[in-house]
Structure 1
Amino acid sequence: MSQKPLKQPISVLVVLHDGNGNILLIKRADYQNFWQSVTGSIEPDEQLIETAIREVYEETGILLPDTQIIDWNESSQYEIYQHWRHRYPEGVTHNTEHVFSAKISRNSPIKLNPKEHTAYDWMPVKEAADKVFSPSNKMAILNLHKHLF
C-alpha cells in the first residue's frame, strides 16, 4: 500500500454560506465532534483558488466556478495540532491558512466523502462559530459579514 504524500504547510479555509446568515459546517470523521468549514492543503503546482475549488468539491461534492469564490486576501498562521504533525515534513509545526468564502444555495446537494466527514449541517453564524474547533475557522465565520458583496 502506498503512503500518502506529505502535506505542505499551506492551506485554504472556505466558508460556505447561504447569503442569509447561515453557514455550512461538516463534521470530521477522524475526531468526534470536530466541526469545520471546508479546509485543505495546497497541492504542488496549484494556485490557492484552485485548492479552494478542489477542496469544496472533494469535501462537499459541489463544483464551484472560480467566479463564485471570494478570496479574502487574508491568512493566518497557526500551530499544527500534535496529532496531525505526522502528515507534514519532519520539523514542520505551523501552517499558513488562506481564507475564502462562497455563497451557495441551501438546496445544493451535499455529497460527503465518508473517509473525511460524517455529517453536515447549516447553522446560524453565532452557532457555527461556537461549534467549530479551530480558532481561525471561528474568526473567519465571525468576519464573513465583511466579505459579502
Structure 2
Amino acid sequence: MRAWFAAGAATALVGRRLVLELLLRRFRASLAALDAGDHRPLLASYRQDAVLHFADGNHRWAGDHEGREAIERFLRDFVAAGLHGEIGEAYFGGPPWRMTVLARFDDRAEDPDGTEIYRNRTVLLLRTKWGKVVEQEDYYEDTSRIERLDAHLRDRDRP
C-alpha cells in the first residue's frame, strides 16, 4: 500500500513539474514572438474577459486594460514602442484551474541607432484558469522610467 502511495505521489509531482515547465516554455516562446513584432501568440494566452493592471502615470500604457481587445491595443503599443523583454525566474502556485504565477520580467528599448533609451525590471503577478490569464498585475522597479520613455517616443515621432 505504501509503495503505491509513494509511486502515485511521485507521479503527481513529476507531472506537475512537467506542466509548469511546458507553461514556462510557452510563455517564453510567446515573448520571443512579441520581441519579433508578433503580439498574437501572447494575446492568445489571455481569456476574453482578462484584465491587465498596468502602472499608473502619465504614459500610454497606464491603467486597467479590460478584455482581450484592450489588451491587444496594449500589446500593439508595446511592439510599436520597440520594447523587448525576457522572463527570468518564475514561480507557480495552486492547481491548474486556479494557478498563480509570479515572474521576473526585464524590459528594454533602443532607438533606431541602437542607443538604449529604456530599461526596467518588473514582477508580473498572473492569475490563471486552466492556463489562460484572467488577471495580470505589473509591478515596476521605477515607473518614472516608463513616463520618460513615453515622452521620448512622443518627441522622437513628432514631424
Q: TM-score under structure 1 normalisation? A: 0.29
Please identify the structure whose Cα radius of gyration is greater: 2
More helix by share: 2
Q: TM-score under structure 2 normalisation? A: 0.28
